[in-house]
Structure 1
Amino acid sequence: MHQTTAYGRERTPTNMRIRRPWARRTAVTTVSAAALVALAIPAEAATTTASTASTSTTATAAAEDVDYATWQTDCQAVMNQALPYLKTRIAAPRPGEKQAVVLDIDNTALETDFGFSYPQPANKPVLEVAKYAQQHGVSLFFVTARPGIIASVTDYNLKHVGYQVGGLYVRGFVDLFKDVAAYKTAQRVDIENKGYTIIANIGNSATDLSGGHAEKTFKLPDYDGQLS
Structure 2
Amino acid sequence: MPRNRLTARASSRTKVLTATAAAAALGLTLYGVGAATADQSAPRSDKQIPNLTNVVNEIKAYYGDTVDSAGEHQASATSNYARQVAGIEAQAKSYLAHAGKSGKHGKKPAIVLDVDDTSLLTYNYELEVGFNYTPASNQAYLDTKNMPAVFGMDTLTDWAAKQGITVFWITGRPESQRADTVRNLAASGFTPAADTAHLYLKNTATPPSYLACGATCTTIQYKSGTRAHIESLGYDIVGNFGDQYSDLSGGYADKSFKLPNPMYYLP
TM-score by length of 2: 0.59
Q: Which has the higher contact order (CA 8 A, sep 6+)?
A: 1
Q: What is the CA distance between 1:106 and its match in structure 2?
A: 0.3
Q: What is the CA distance between 1:165 and its match in structure 2?
A: 2.8
Q: What is the CA distance between 1:96 and its match in structure 2?
A: 3.6
Match of 2:55 in 1: 64
> 2:223, 2:265 → 1: CA distance?
20
Q: What is the CA distance between 1:179 and its match in structure 2?
A: 0.7
More helix, by proportion: 2
After superposing the two structures, state which structure 1 stretch, 64-73 or 211-220, moved more. Answer: 64-73
Q: What is the CA distance between 1:112 and its match in structure 2?
A: 1.6
Q: What is the CA distance between 1:25 and its match in structure 2?
A: 5.2
> 2:117, 2:218 → 1: CA distance?
20
Q: What is the CA distance between 1:83 and its match in structure 2?
A: 0.9
Matches within 5 A, 1:179-194: 179-194=218-233
Match of 2:201 in 1: 170
Match of 2:181 in 1: 154
253, 258, 263: which one pairs with 1:219?
A: 258
Q: What is the CA distance between 1:97 and its match in structure 2?
A: 2.9
Q: Deviations 1:49-101 (Å, cap 9, x if unpaired)? A: xxxxxxxxxx9468933232222222112112111001121235557431100
Match of 1:109 in 2: 119
Question: Measured at CA, do residues 188 and 226 of structure 1 come closer, stay the same or move farther in structure 2, by a change above 3 Å?
Answer: closer
Match of 2:14 in 1: none
> 1:27, 1:163 → 2: CA distance?
33
> 1:146, 1:86 → 2: CA distance?
27
> 2:245, 2:186 → 1: CA distance?
26
> 1:26, 1:77 → 2: CA distance?
33
Matched, 1:82 2:92: yes
Q: What is the CA distance between 1:102 and its match in structure 2?
A: 0.1
> 2:179, 2:251 → 1: CA distance?
28
Q: Secondary structure at the match of 2:256?
A: strand
Are the equivalent residues in 1 in contact too, given 2:103–2:235 (CA < 8 A)? Answer: no
Asked which structure has the greater CA Rg, the reply is: 2
More strand, by proportion: 1
Question: What is the alpha-carbon root mean square deviation over aligned residues?
Answer: 3.0
**Amino acid in the other structure paired with 2:101:** A
> 2:7, 2:254 → 1: CA distance?
27
Q: Secondary structure at the match of 2:191?
A: coil
Q: Secondary structure at the match of 2:124?
A: coil
Structure 2 unaligned segments of length 5 or more: list them.
Answer: 11-27, 34-53, 64-78, 126-140, 206-213
> 1:181, 1:95 → 2: CA distance?
26
Q: Secondary structure at the match of 2:146?
A: coil
Are the equivalent residues in 2 in contact too, given 1:192–1:198 (CA < 8 A)? Answer: yes
Are the equivalent residues in 2 in contact too, given 1:102–1:202 (CA < 8 A)? Answer: yes
Are the equivalent residues in 1 in contact too, given 2:244–2:265 (CA < 8 A)? Answer: no
Q: Percent identity?
A: 30
